[in-house]
Amino acid sequence: MGEYRNIFFDFDGVILESVKAKTNAFIEMYRPYGNTIMNKVLQHHIENGGISRFEKFKYYEEVFLGKQCSRERIDELAKEFSLKVKDQVISSKAVEGVIEFLENYHKKLDFWIITGTPTDEILEITKARNLQGYFKGIYGSPKNKKHWTEYIIDLHGLDRSSTLFLGDATTDYEAAKHSGLHFGLRQIPENEIMFKDYMGLKFTDFYQLEKELFL
């Protein structure tokens, strides 16, 4: 089974092809403010893919729109966003080969999900897609990914040197570095520029990843 015993998975863009659903929802929500604001939101979202929507909305409202933004307002925006995207995410196609990978290896390795999606929402999504049984735990915002990597490592006494984080965003890479984990980059068009200098493990689908890890 190679050197890895534990794998942390990001969700959007790693398990489901749901990155565009999130991107389109941010565009739709900020289109009424005009193209300049909308494009700033789009650029920030693409460059900060794994940051929670709560942090993004606070930033967009305060920095781009110059508004004082209460917790209640952020929660309202996050609820509106959830209504726009949840069904689209559930209906997104799986990343090629991921279901077979989970099926083949979830009894041999230990798997967790760490995502910027709110925990209650990601639990609904994974339940709707019959994915929960593959994972020992599923964790989302408001806690960030660095928090969850350390929490899982401490809770289960994991060996960092045999733990791999699979992600497509800089927040995934930073969480892996923070906790001294290996990192595997799922390459998508949206992250090409951010990871242009990354020289580590890369994959476009899970058939390729399986060959890289085990064959």
Q: What is the pLDDT of residues 125-178, one digit of tens each?
A: 999 999 999 999 999 999 999 999 999 999 999 999 999 999 999 999 999 999
* 175 and 66 Cβ atoms separated by less than 8 Å: no
The string of DSSP codes covering 16-76 is BS-HHHHHHHHHHHHGGG-HHHHHHHHHHHHHTTTS-HHHHHHHIIIIIS-----HHHHHH
Phi, psi of 196 (to 5 degrees): -65, -25
pLDDT of amino acid 49? 74
* CA dihedral over 203, 177, 173, 157, signed as positive or negative: positive
pLDDT of amino acid 66? 94
E-only strand ranges, the chain: 6-9, 110-118, 137-141, 163-167, 182-186, 201-203
Q: What is the pLDDT of residues 99-114, one digit of tens each?
A: 999 999 999 999 999 9
Task: Say how far apart CA 102 and CA 105 lie, in whole Å.
Answer: 5
Domain 6-18+93-214 of CATH type 3.20.20.60: no
Round the average pLDDT of the chain to a whole number and report it. Answer: 94
Q: Kindly give, in sequence order, each residue whose CB lies less than 8 Å from that of residue 48, ignoring residues fewer than 6 positions away.
A: 56, 169, 170, 171
pLDDT of amino acid 1? 46
Residue 180 backbone class (left: φ over 0; alpha: ψ -120 to 50; beta: rest): left
Task: Say how far apart CA 118 and CA 54 lie, in whole Å.
Answer: 9
What integer is the mean pLDDT of 75-83? 92
